[in-house]
Amino acid sequence: MENEQDIIALVRERLEGLPGLSEKKMMGGHCFLVNGNMVGGAGCNEAGDSRFMMRVGKDNSAKAEALPGGEPLIKGGRRMGGMYLVDPDQPEEVISEWVSLAVGNALSLPAK
């Protein structure tokens, strides 16, 4: 199982080369942004397991629910709309689908 630093490195590798990519500490963790909009980063589930955190957007929630390996992000007992935690042990093609969904969401938003 990966720790938070491993997750950050894996996300960084997958997003490397995207125009407008930046990194920022926010939401209690390390996040990646495209044009100022969050794509995702490293997070933990309620059991404390390190996970990919992906912001797919509320409009993509149905697509996200259909993908394997993800669970809604819960903070303080509240579901964070459009945010999911993804098991890093999923096959590469599954992780790629999650990343594509999150990047597509960030690119659909106005730059900040």
- Successive 10-residue mean pLDDT values, the chain, 112 residues: 83 93 88 97 84 96 97 92 95 95 98 94
Q: Enter the pTM of the model.
A: 0.91
Query: Cα dist. 33→13, 83, 112 in Å?
Result: 14, 14, 10
* Structure token digits, residue 2: 């990966």
pLDDT at 82: 97
Q: Give the whole-angstrom CA distance, residue 42 versus residue 66.
A: 21
Q: What is the CATH number of domain 4-108?
A: 3.90.1150
* Structure token digits, residue 104: 């597509």
Radius of gyration of the chain (CA): 13
pLDDT at 3: 83
Residue spans of the domains in the chain: they are: 4-108
Element (H, E) at 63: helix 61-66
pLDDT at 45: 81
pLDDT at 80: 93
